[in-house]
Structure 1
Amino acid sequence: MKTSDRVLLGSGVLIPCWLLLGVALTALAYPGYSHLQQAMSELGAQGAPTHGFSAWVNNLPLGLLFILFGLGVARRFAGSKLALLSALLIGLHGLGSLGTGYFACDQGCAPAQPSLSQQLHNLAGLLMFVSLTLACALWIVLARRLLQSPGLALFSALCLVLAIVTVWLMATEVASGQLFGLYQRLNYGISVLWVAALALQVLRASVGRTAQPSTAASAM
Structure 2
Amino acid sequence: MNLSRSGICCGIAAPVIWLSLIGLAGAMRPEFSHSYQYISELGERGSVTEIPMRYIGFGFAGFLYLCFALALPATLCEGWRAALLATLIGLDGIGRIGAGVFACDPGCDGLSSSQELHRLFAMTGFSAAILAALACGIIFRRHPWLSILSIYSIGSGLLATTLLLLMTWEANPIQTPGLFEHLATGVLSIWTLVFAVCLLRGSALSDE
Residue ranges of structure 1 left out of the alignment (5+ in a row) = 212-220
1:201 to 183, 194, 198: 198
Contact 1:89 / 1:134 at 8 angstroms: preserved in 2? Answer: yes
Shift in Å at residue 173 of structure 1? Answer: 5.7
Closer/same/farther in 2, CA of residues 175 and 144 from structure 1, 3 Å limit: closer
Matches within 5 A, 1:4-15: 4-15=3-14
Structure-1-length-normalised TM-score? 0.87
Contact 1:174 / 1:180 at 8 angstroms: preserved in 2? Answer: no
Fraction of identical pairs, as percent: 31
For 1:179 and 1:68, locate their aligned partners in 2 and report how far apart those are by CA, in whole Å: 34
Q: Which residue of 2 aligns with 1:107?
A: 106
2:179 matches 1:182: yes
Shift in Å at residue 136 of structure 1? Answer: 1.2
For residue 33 of structure 1, what is the amino acid of its counterpart?
Answer: F
Closer/same/farther in 2, CA of residues 177 and 95 from structure 1, 3 Å limit: farther
For the aligned residues, what is the CA RMSD? 2.1
2:184 matches 1:168: no
Cα offsets for 1:9-34 (capped at 9, x unmatched): 01111223212221111222224111
For residue 97 of structure 2, what is the amino acid of its counterpart?
Answer: L
Matches within 5 A, 1:53-132: 53-111=52-110, 114-132=111-129
Residue ranges of structure 2 left out of the alignment (5+ in a row) = none
Shift in Å at residue 75 of structure 1? Answer: 2.1
For 2:68 and 2:171, locate their aligned partners in 1 and report how far apart those are by CA, in whole Å: 31
What is the DSSP-based 3-state SS (H/G/I as helix, E as strand, rest coil) of the residue aligned with 1:97? helix
For 2:74 and 2:207, locate their aligned partners in 1 and report how far apart those are by CA, in whole Å: 16
For residue 161 of structure 2, what is the amino acid of its counterpart?
Answer: I
Closer/same/farther in 2, CA of residues 138 and 186 from structure 1, 3 Å limit: same
Between the two proteins, the alignment pairs up a number of residues equal to: 208
Contact 2:145 / 2:199 at 8 angstroms: preserved in 1? Answer: no
For residue 195 of structure 2, what is the amino acid of its counterpart?
Answer: L
What is the DSSP-based 3-state SS (H/G/I as helix, E as strand, rest coil) of the residue aligned with 2:88? helix
Q: Which residue of 1 aligns with 2:36?
A: 37
Larger Rg belongs to: 1
Contact 1:94 / 1:128 at 8 angstroms: preserved in 2? Answer: yes
Structure-2-length-normalised TM-score? 0.91
For residue 124 of structure 1, what is the amino acid of its counterpart?
Answer: F
Closer/same/farther in 2, CA of residues 160 and 180 from structure 1, 3 Å limit: same
Closer/same/farther in 2, CA of residues 147 and 29 from structure 1, 3 Å limit: same
What is the DSSP-based 3-state SS (H/G/I as helix, E as strand, rest coil) of the residue aligned with 2:191? helix
